[in-house]
């Protein structure tokens, strides 16, 4: 939550969401250093995922069964999200970040296994290009992304519901859904980057913002991979 200080400004305390943090903070750093930490934290997550894909056989991940894996996946993700959302300690937030990176890496490992390595690399390159482009747009046109914030959330929820319905009741998937979800996460990358520039520039907030961006980017990559794989 946020508490009001004596001068009427709000300061971050444990419990507030990442992008809702406002006010002065004695630990603030420069904007360049702040963005550098975001970039390095993202690179760490992607490096961990790459190592997992290279060294962990996909069948090992599912050795205990599909549903135990899914339960462990959600528990680990929720624990990580809770840590980096509620902690003002950068080391605790970094632990929370890794608790998200590892289960996401398991999903990436399972998903990329059947694909040709060339297609995977093309998906990586495309995701990287789009990510840089959306971050640039988020910097130039932050007001636009703030206006579409609610629309992105509604669109994502509706798409998830429809995709679950199509999977379990229709027994099929639709390529257009992959395009829609990819577009939604493109919007979220721009939005989360724009929102990251509004929070106090601290090391902890940089790690927390990187965690949110990491999830956007991985979701975008998985959809791009599916789209390219169909072709």
| pLDDT tens-digit readout, 107-145 | 999 999 999 999 999 999 999 999 999 999 999 999 999
Burial (Cβ within 10 Å: 0-12, 13-18, ≥19) of residue 188? buried
Q: What is the pLDDT of residue 26?
A: 56
Domain count, the chain: 1
Q: What is the pLDDT of residue 5?
A: 37
Q: What is the pLDDT of residue 167?
A: 80
Q: For residues 229 and 231, give the distance between their C-alpha atoms in angstroms, rounded to a whole number.
A: 5
Quote the domain boundaries for residue 224: 2-230
Could you give the dihedral angle defined by the CA atoms of residues 15, 16, 21 and 26, in that order, rounded to the nearest 10 degrees? -10
Q: What is the pLDDT of residue 91?
A: 95
Regions in the chain scoring below 70 on pLDDT: 1-17, 19-26
């Amino acid at each position: 939550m946020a508490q009001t200080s004596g001068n009427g400004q709000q300061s971050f305390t444990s419990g507030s969401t990442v992008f809702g943090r406002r006010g002065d903070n004695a630990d603030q750093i420069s904007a360049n250093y702040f963005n550098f930490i975001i970039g390095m934290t993202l690179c760490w997550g992607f490096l961990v995922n790459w190592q997992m894909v290279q060294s962990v056989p996909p069948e090992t991940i599912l050795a205990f069964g599909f549903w135990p894996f899914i339960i462990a996946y959600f528990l680990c993700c929720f624990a990580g999200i809770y840590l980096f959302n509620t902690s003002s300690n950068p080391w605790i937030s970094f632990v929370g970040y890794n608790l998200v990176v590892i289960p996401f890496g398991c999903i990436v490992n399972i998903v990329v296994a059947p694909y040709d390595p060339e297609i995977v690399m093309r998906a990586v390159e495309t995701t990287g290009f789009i990510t840089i482009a959306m971050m640039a747009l988020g910097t130039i046109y932050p007001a636009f992304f703030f206006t579409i914030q609610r629309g992105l959330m509604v669109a994502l929820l509706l798409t998830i519901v429809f995709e679950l319905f199509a999977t379990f009741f229709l027994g099929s998937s639709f390529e257009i859904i992959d395009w829609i979800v990819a577009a939604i996460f493109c919007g979220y990358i721009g939005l989360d980057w724009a929102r990251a520039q509004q929070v106090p520039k601290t090391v902890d907030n940089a790690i927390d913002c990187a965690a949110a961006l990491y999830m956007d980017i991985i979701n975008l990559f998985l959809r791009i991979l599916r789209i390219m794989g169909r072709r």
